Amino acid sequence: MKAELLVGKASRRKHHRLGSGKIDLEPDARKASTRLAQLIEPHMAADETKHSYEALVALGAIAWNLSLVPAQERGDLIREAVRGAVSRGIPLTDRWLNDLIERRMKLFPSEERWIESYEVTVKPDGRLVILVATLSAG
């Protein structure tokens, strides 16, 4: 399966292709699926499988939601998330999760939506797609 930075939403809008074959994320830059893909993109492997991509998306969603928790309350939740991931065989560390949280805050400082759920699907041509449902803060 080939991993590509392709995102989806229930509306199934067409994505704008650039000459290089990459996806132009600007038209849908506010979509949570686009933003989640941008958050985890530096950690994607060229030969990403659906299973490994689902794990990466899950960690990205955890980091995303933890970034919305006040900093003074975040430490215990990070340690709990790391313990849970490690117990499932996912090699997660506090530092890596904190780095992802900081990246989310840097990329999208005014973002207040919580990721309620996500799904990774495989297109017929092998591309991996993220579908995201969010909840507004408040």
Domain ranges of the chain: 6-135
By mean pLDDT, which of 22-31, 68-77, 115-124 is the weakest?
A: 22-31
pTM value is 0.76
Tell me the backbone φ, ψ of residue 70, rounded to 5 degrees: -55, 140
Helix, coil or strand: residue 35:
helix
In angstroms, what CA-CA distances link 21 with 4, 15, 33, 86?
Answer: 10, 11, 19, 36
Tell me the pLDDT of the chain averaged across its residues: 80
Residues 31/10, Cβ–Cβ less than 8 Å: no
Separation between Cα atoms, residue 93 and residue 138, nearest integer Å: 30
Which DSSP category does 97 fall into? Answer: H
Render pLDDT for 88-131 as a digit per residue (tens, 0 to 9).
888 889 999 999 999 999 999 999 999 999 999 888 888 888 88
For residue 56, list its beta bridge partners.
Answer: none
Q: What value does the mean pLDDT take over residues 27-39? A: 83
